[in-house]
A = this chain, B = another copy of it.
């Protein structure tokens, strides 16, 4: 029947998604583990996350962002760290 075909298709799609979600959850767990290990060695997770975010950005984009932020901060008289 048509209903059965549709039901079977739905089931297949759902099961594919569930499998992928499981793998994704496993990776998330792995990532948490690495952060835990890093913490155990004295590294700061939050800073590591910032680093990772920065490494993901194109250098030019990052530069632009930084420049505009500096501009805005100076306009407001907020001291900008000369890192």
Q: Which residues of A approach B to under 8 Å, CB–CB?
A: 3, 6-7, 9-11, 13-14, 16-18, 20-21, 23-24, 27-28, 30-31, 34-35, 37-38, 41, 43-44, 46-48, 50-52, 54-55, 63, 65-66, 68-70, 72-73, 75-76, 78, 80-83
Contacts and interface: CB of A to CB of B under 8 A. Distances in A.
> Which 5 A-B pairs rank lowest in CB-CB distance, beginning with the nearest?
A7-B75, A24-B27, A13-B38, A47-B68, A70-B83
Contact of A55 (B7, B9, B14, B55): B14
A30 B68 CA distance: 25
Contacts of A34: 13, 16-17, 20
A10 B66 contact: no
